[in-house]
Copies of this chain bind each other. A is one copy, B any other.
Amino acid sequence: MREKGVAGLRAELVAVGTELLLGQIVDTHSAYLSRFLSDIGIDVFYHTAVGDNQARLQDVIRAAHSRSDLVIFTGGLGPTEDDLTKEAVSAVLGLDLVEHPPSVKALEELFIERGLDVPASNYKQALVFPQGTVFPNPNGTAPGVAVTHDGTTFVLLPGPPVELYPMVENEVRPFLEALLPTKEVLLSHVLRFYGIGESHLVKKVEPLIQHQSNPTIAPLAKEGEVTLRLTAKAADHKQAWNLIQPVKAEIVKQVGHYLYGVNDDTLEVVAIRALSEKRQTVALAESCTGGLIARMLTAIPGASNVFRGGFVSYSDDAKQKWLHVSSEVLASAGAISEAAARSMAEGAMAQLDADWGVSVTGVAGPDPAEGKPVGLVFLGIAAKEGKTTVHRLSLRGSREKIQIRAAKHALFILQERLRGTFRER
C-alpha cells in the first residue's frame, strides 16, 4: 500500500545504464546519493539499476511512482539513442518535453568554446518539462531536470561524476530541502578509531548503544578501522549538536585512546595536519608497504610542505647504502627485524634531514621471507627530539590487506606521537 508523506519523504534511486547490468562499472552513485539524502533527513527504500531499454525503464518508473514520494535517476541523459531516461519519464507520466532556450544557449556556447559545431543529436539534451525545474550543468551538456506529478517528484541527473556531484550539492540540495515537510534536521557525527576491533569497541560502549535513541549510534568496521556514527534529529543544527555532544564525551571517556579523527578525516590527513601544526617534516623508509605510505601522503594536496621524501628499499643493498642499516644487523637479525626497522627510520630521518622518520619492514606475502611468517611487520618511528619506538605487528589477510594495515598502523602511531597521545600498549 502506498503511504506517501506519512513520515517524511520516501525516496528511491534508479541508476540507468546497460554497463551496470554487464558489471562493467560499479554503481557508486547510489551509495553517494543515499548518504546525501540521509544527511538531509530523507529515507531511501530502494535502489534499482536498469538498462538502456525503453520498456523495462518504463516498468521501473511505474513501480517507483506507485510507492515513492521522490525518485532520483542517474544516467541516460546523454545525446545518443540509448539515452532514454527523460523520454521514458515523459511517456509514463504523459508529460511533454519542450526545448529550454537557456539550455540550448549553454549547449551552443560549450561547443563554440571547444571550436566545434553542435551535433544535431545533442539538442535533445536541452528538452525539459515545462512545468518542472531545470538544474544547469556547467560541467557538461545535459542539464538536470525535475518534475512533480501526482504526488511524486522525479529528479533526473546526469551520470558522469564530474557533472553529478556539483549538481547535487549546488542545485539538488536546496531544491530538496524546500520539499521537506518539516524543518527537522538530521545531524551525523562520525568518530574514527584505529587499533581496536569492532566487537571490542562495541563491548566497551555497550550500555550507550543499548540505550541509544537520539542520537543513534551505529558502528561500522572497514579495512582495520572502526567508526561510530552518531546521528541526532532535532529542530535545528545546534540542538542536534547539543544532543550529540554528551554522548560523544562519554564515548571518548571509554575509548578515546583509539580515536584519531572525526567525519571525513583519514589517518593521512590527520598525520599531515599534526605535522603542519608543528611545522615539522617526515621522511619514509618503506620495504613491505612498497611506497603505499608515500602514496597516501602525496595524494593529499599540500603534502609537500611536510613530506621530505621516502625510500622504497626493496633490496638489502638499498637498505645498507642509503639507510645505513649495518651489514651486521642484516646478517644477524635480517632485514625483517626490530633492529632493521629502527635503523631504517633513523636513516631516513637523517638522510632527509626530517623531524620524523617512519619505517616499515615485514612480510606482506603471499610467501614467507627470511624464514619469517606472512604478516609479521615491524614499524619504526624515529624523532629528532625524542626516542625511536619500534612496533611489532602480526597481521592477517591478503598481501594487499597486510600492506594497507601496516601503512595505516604506522600513520596512526605517527599521529599519536605527534599529538602527544602515544602510550605503550
Chain B residues near A315 (CB-CB < 8 A): 304, 308-309, 352
Asked whether any CB of chain B lies closer than 8 Å to the CB of A48, the reply is: yes
When C-beta atoms are compared, the residue in chain B nearest to A1 turns out to be B55
Asked whether any CB of chain B lies closer than 8 Å to the CB of A111, the reply is: no
When C-beta atoms are compared, the residue in chain B nearest to A407 turns out to be B295
In the bound complex, how far is the Cα of B23 from the Cα of A353, in angstroms?
Answer: 44
Asked whether A47 and B32 contact (CB < 8 A) given A295-B292, A310-B312, A352-B318, the answer is no
When C-beta atoms are compared, the residue in chain B nearest to A53 turns out to be B45
Chain B residues near A144 (CB-CB < 8 A): none
Q: Is the CB of B21 within 8 A of A45?
A: yes
When C-beta atoms are compared, the residue in chain B nearest to A24 turns out to be B220
Asked whether any CB of chain B lies closer than 8 Å to the CB of A20, the reply is: yes
Asked whether any CB of chain B lies closer than 8 Å to the CB of A317, the reply is: yes
Q: Is the CB of B25 within 8 A of A27?
A: no
Q: Is the CB of A27 within 8 A of B23?
A: no
Q: Is the CB of B45 within 8 A of A27?
A: no
Asked whether A321 and B351 contact (CB < 8 A) given A47-B49, A291-B312, A313-B309, the answer is yes
Interface centre among A32, A294, A400 (most CB of B within 10 A): A294
Asked whether A365 and B23 contact (CB < 8 A) given A47-B49, A51-B45, A309-B311, the answer is no
Asked whether any CB of chain B lies closer than 8 Å to the CB of A26, the reply is: yes
Q: Is the CB of B308 within 8 A of A294?
A: no
Asked whether any CB of chain B lies closer than 8 Å to the CB of A175, the reply is: no
Pick from B20, B30, B59, B353: contact of A317, CB below 8 A.
B353
When C-beta atoms are compared, the residue in chain B nearest to A313 turns out to be B309
Q: Is the CB of A48 within 8 A of B45?
A: no
Asked whether any CB of chain B lies closer than 8 Å to the CB of A422, the reply is: no
Q: Is the CB of A22 within 8 A of B49?
A: no
Give the number of times this chain occurs in the complex, counting copies.
Answer: 2
When C-beta atoms are compared, the residue in chain B nearest to A50 turns out to be B46
Asked whether any CB of chain B lies closer than 8 Å to the CB of A38, the reply is: yes
Interface size on A, residues (CB 8 A): 75
In the bound complex, how far is the Cα of B407 from the Cα of A295, in angstroms?
Answer: 12
Q: Is the CB of A23 within 8 A of B38?
A: yes
In the bound complex, how far is the Cα of B352 from the Cα of A23, in angstroms?
Answer: 42
Asked whether any CB of chain B lies closer than 8 Å to the CB of A63, the reply is: yes
Distance of A96 from chain B, by nearest CB (Å): 27
Asked whether any CB of chain B lies closer than 8 Å to the CB of A284, the reply is: yes
Chain B residues near A34 (CB-CB < 8 A): 20-23
Asked whether any CB of chain B lies closer than 8 Å to the CB of A123, the reply is: no
Asked whether any CB of chain B lies closer than 8 Å to the CB of A420, the reply is: no
Distance of A352 from chain B, by nearest CB (Å): 6
Asked whether any CB of chain B lies closer than 8 Å to the CB of A299, the reply is: yes
Asked whether any CB of chain B lies closer than 8 Å to the CB of A298, the reply is: yes
Distance of A55 from chain B, by nearest CB (Å): 10
Asked whether any CB of chain B lies closer than 8 Å to the CB of A307, the reply is: yes
Q: Is the CB of B304 within 8 A of A295?
A: no
Q: Is the CB of B295 within 8 A of A290?
A: yes
Would you give the 0/1 interface string for A152-167, flagging 1 where the beta carbon is closer than 8 Å to chain B? 0000000000000000
Q: Is the CB of A294 within 8 A of B312?
A: yes
Distance of A40 from chain B, by nearest CB (Å): 12
Asked whether A19 and B220 contact (CB < 8 A) given A309-B311, A321-B351, the answer is yes
10 A–B contacts, CB within 8 A, in A order: A19-B220, A23-B32, A23-B36, A45-B51, A48-B48, A290-B298, A291-B294, A298-B364, A301-B366, A315-B352
